[in-house]
Amino acid sequence: MKKILIYSTIVLLIFSSCKNNNELKTENVVKDSVKVSKSEYSVSGTLWYQTSAEAKALYIQSYNLATFMLDKNIKIKSKKRKAVITDIDETLLDNSPMNARLAKIGELYTDEAWENWVKQGKAKALPGALEFFNYCKKKGVEVFYLSNRSIASQDITMKNLLNEGFPYVDIQHMYLKEKSSDKTARRDSILKNYEVILYLGDNLRDFSEDYGQRGDDYGAAVVNDTKNLFGTKFIVFPNPMYGEWEKAIYKNDYSKSDEEKAKLRKEALQDNY
């Protein structure tokens, strides 16, 4: 009888401790994930970007498609000279070492961390990029670099691009950010004098502001409405580390607290089955 009583007490204790643990886990899952490391969630995307052969294949696939479409679109009749407009970061230069460093030390992106990385001018060309842009040059198609890197970083950015072997790296072909991250005005000023036959970017805002403010569908409808442009005029590259997609999860507001953002990320996971 005594043995049974001791056994029951142990079972009860184990059960209640499990129950408490489970309750604790459920209640504090968001708080704990922020406490462990506020950038822990970014580890997976950064690892995929840096180590997966699939990421490399996707860059090559996108640049192969860009080459195919360049040969096709170059035949468009126009009195203007032909050009392509390209984004820089995570489209043709790889800045993932900065994201990797931040993820390792448990920190998140800051403008200061970004500027410190940029001023080193160490970003490497992404797979397929040099071949494609030098093919543009060979075909007489000019390349415009339309990027939201700050205008203050123009010299080091040009040095970085030149060191990597990109063509058309001169002031006339650089359109960096002076005030607004909206690229429309800069894009329009290129379009005045050029027939732009392709756009390349890892963020849909590289193509149009229509992909900017995303609602509850995270921009799915506007992508569907413009589906004929993807792969024909717009060439998209993969970026699971950061971008407009993440901003949409935070209801287009990066100023929310780390805890609030962690909560919104969990809420955005679609587990209806």
Which residues contact Mg ion (rule: CB under 5 A)?
87, 89-90, 202
Strands (E), 207-255: 234-236
Q: Indicate the residue among 89 and 94 with the shorter CB distance to Mg ion.
A: 89
Q: Indicate the residue among 196 and 262 with the shorter CB distance to Mg ion.
A: 196
Half-sphere CA count of 133, side-chain side, radius 13 A: 26
Give me 18's structure tokens. Answer: 């499990």
Q: Give min distance, CB of 149 to Mg ion, in A.
A: 9
Q: Give min distance, CB of 221 to Mg ion, in A.
A: 23
Strands (E), the chain: 81-86, 93-94, 124-125, 142-150, 174-177, 194-201, 234-236
Q: Indicate the residue among 73 and 96 with the shorter CB distance to Mg ion.
A: 96
Q: Give min distance, CB of 159 to Mg ion, in A.
A: 19
Residue nearest to Mg ion (CB): 89
Q: Indicate the residue among 90 and 142 with the shorter CB distance to Mg ion.
A: 90
Q: Which residues pair with 94 in a beta bridge?
A: 124
Q: Give min distance, CB of 146 to Mg ion, in A.
A: 10
With H, G, I as helix, E, B as strand and everything else as coil, classify residue 82. Answer: strand
Q: Indicate the residue among 93 and 196 with the shorter CB distance to Mg ion.
A: 93
Cα–Cα distances in angstroms (integers) from residue 223 to residues 33, 188, 243, in the given order: 32, 21, 16
Q: Indicate the residue among 103 and 241 with the shorter CB distance to Mg ion.
A: 241
Q: Give min distance, CB of 244 to Mg ion, in A.
A: 10
Residue type, 106: G
Half-sphere CA count of 119, side-chain side, radius 13 A: 7
Q: Give min distance, CB of 251 to Mg ion, in A.
A: 22
Neighbours of 106 (CB within 10 A): 12
Q: Give min distance, CB of 137 to Mg ion, in A.
A: 21
Buried b (16+ CB within 10 A) or exposed e, 23-42: eeeeeeebeebbeebbbebb
Cα–Cα distance measured from residue 198 to residue 234, given in angstroms and rounded to the nearest whole number: 6
Q: Indicate the residue among 74 and 243 with the shorter CB distance to Mg ion.
A: 243
